[in-house]
Structure 1
């Protein structure tokens, strides 16, 4: 595989989950490679392990720095390494909101509980005290709210008689080493998975007022205006007519706009077969780093271009407030 996603792993200690990610990346057709291991502690044992494996390392102690300044130093190292994703693996720092937001959807963490249960610390002791039958571990996307991002994968680990937080933690750590590489691999592959891309596009399209989905010429299409008079404002195209693209097809304002977009940003836009003759543009979804806010804006704009005036007037009034 030549188009592996590049990940930077942030650690603060031994880096056992980092090691699991590294060794998994070298087995079979893994879709990611580790290009950097960085730490807030220059003495973190995991840095030596990474260096021994030929992986670039970076350390920057946080003492005496503001949270934002330290995050900026770490982020600069991540960007210089060319990383597409940041994976937290025992990184014992609370991150600034700005750092997290810049990597929205591309920063992952692993947490030793079955989220949403037991966010924060002392997860094993809390699970045992609650009388739970299982503890476990969860991989989630990082958001400004602690341990609150989308859960990507989980493994349940039984709590047995006479378990202590320490004994449960040992077994959960084994589960983490199996779960994290697989969850990271699935996450970094989302951008090339038609089902995942359609699901995300569908959620955005159907959130628009009075929108519905109907297949058209073998493609999922999205309409507004009702069963009998509804008009299409978007289509999902999965490598149709010989193109390599998985794309959103949306309406532009004119053929000139379409051609300008395709000429100026050919890595983002293309002129789709048949639809392009009517001024529809293809927005490529199967590429790393898609700006989904921009996709949502295209959907909204395309929706407005065909929605009944009663709906657009209502939206205009709502926007005023």
Structure 2
């Protein structure tokens, strides 16, 4: 079984969405756990909740620190806690572009509007003034632009006659607490469910010159010009319970060396193993996709015609 994804949660105040994530993480089968709750206000009420529930906390006021300095410290704390993902839960401080880039694709935020409507503050007041019939909330990936990342999920909330920003906010908050854990669970399981893993492998493999996908021996496979195979995607092949890519090594010596060095990551696949192919497991969570890309390129180079291989 893949290990649970570890989440670092950033807050500034009461931490109600943090608490929703925390309690959801304790439900049977939840694929994530809270590794750290961090706040830029040492008096944030959410810190007390986290501490009482046995979750590690970190608090440091950003006052007197340059944005880059503060974000460097925050990044170090998250990594020391073993965080795989970052969830913003009422974190009221803009993060530097450098910090966002370090966590690209692994940092999410919940926003109290149906994005792309009403980015920024005063979302409920703006929805009421616009005469909208529904409001809602969105979970999105964080990018350097405020509230502008790809939306991963939304929930609509009906606006009632006589609603004020406060009454509307209270109902939207209920929706937030339901939406955030579900979307976060979907995001982290993209790196453990075979369909999500295949999508990522496909993206990397087909980005290589002249790469094509085909089905071979019941497995999605990737070829280069001339039909030579450079990668197989295997999922529970012959009931082995493994999801992996099969790629070419330089030969038996390298294959043996890799397996002996990291037997939990590499293995000798049936049938293709004697030909120097190696299995590289991607079903253990927290996949190093840069490493996967390196293997795909290396294997592609061995399969590609010399004229094409010299291109990259």
The two structures have a TM-score, normalised by structure 2, of 0.88
Change (3 A) 1:66 1:222: same
**What does 1:1-321 align with in structure 2 at a 5 Å threshold?**
3-130=3-130, 132-161=132-161, 163-225=163-225, 229-309=226-306, 311-312=308-309, 315-316=311-312
Mean Cα deviation higher: 67-76 or 128-137: 128-137
Distance 1:242 1:66 in 2: 54
Determine if contact 2:3/2:284 at 8 Å carries over to the other structure: no
Relative contact order, CA 8 A, sep 6+: which one is greater? 2
Cα distance, 1:48 vs. partner?
Answer: 1.6
Note the residue ranges of structure 2 that are not aligned, 5 or more in a row.
none
What RMSD in Å do the two structures reach over aligned CA positions?
A: 2.5
Distance 2:144 2:258 in 1: 34
Distance 2:298 2:103 in 1: 25
Distance 2:36 2:17 in 1: 14
Distance 1:187 1:175 in 2: 18
Give structure 1 regions of 4+ aligned residues with deviation exceeding 6 angstroms: none
Mean Cα deviation higher: 247-256 or 128-137: 128-137
CA displacement 1:262-288 (0-9 Å, x = unmatched): 222334332222222111222221123
Distance 1:292 1:302 in 2: 15
Q: Which SS does the other structure have where 2:43 is aligned?
A: coil
Cα distance, 1:119 vs. partner?
Answer: 3.3
Cα distance, 1:235 vs. partner?
Answer: 0.9
The two structures have a TM-score, normalised by structure 1, of 0.86
Distance 1:148 1:311 in 2: 39
CA displacement 1:15-35 (0-9 Å, x = unmatched): 110111122222232222223
Distance 2:295 2:129 in 1: 50
Change (3 A) 1:218 1:109: same
Change (3 A) 1:11 1:312: same
Q: Which SS does the other structure have where 1:69 is aligned?
A: helix
Equivalent in the alignment of 1:319: none
Determine if contact 2:247/2:295 at 8 Å carries over to the other structure: yes
Determine if contact 1:241/1:273 at 8 Å carries over to the other structure: no
Cα distance, 1:43 vs. partner?
Answer: 0.9
Cα distance, 1:249 vs. partner?
Answer: 1.3
Q: Which SS does the other structure have where 1:191 is aligned?
A: coil
Q: Which SS does the other structure have where 2:191 is aligned?
A: helix
Distance 1:209 1:200 in 2: 17
CA displacement 1:29-83 (0-9 Å, x = unmatched): 2222223222111111111222222322221111001122222332333333333
Note the residue ranges of structure 1 that are not aligned, 5 or more in a row.
317-321
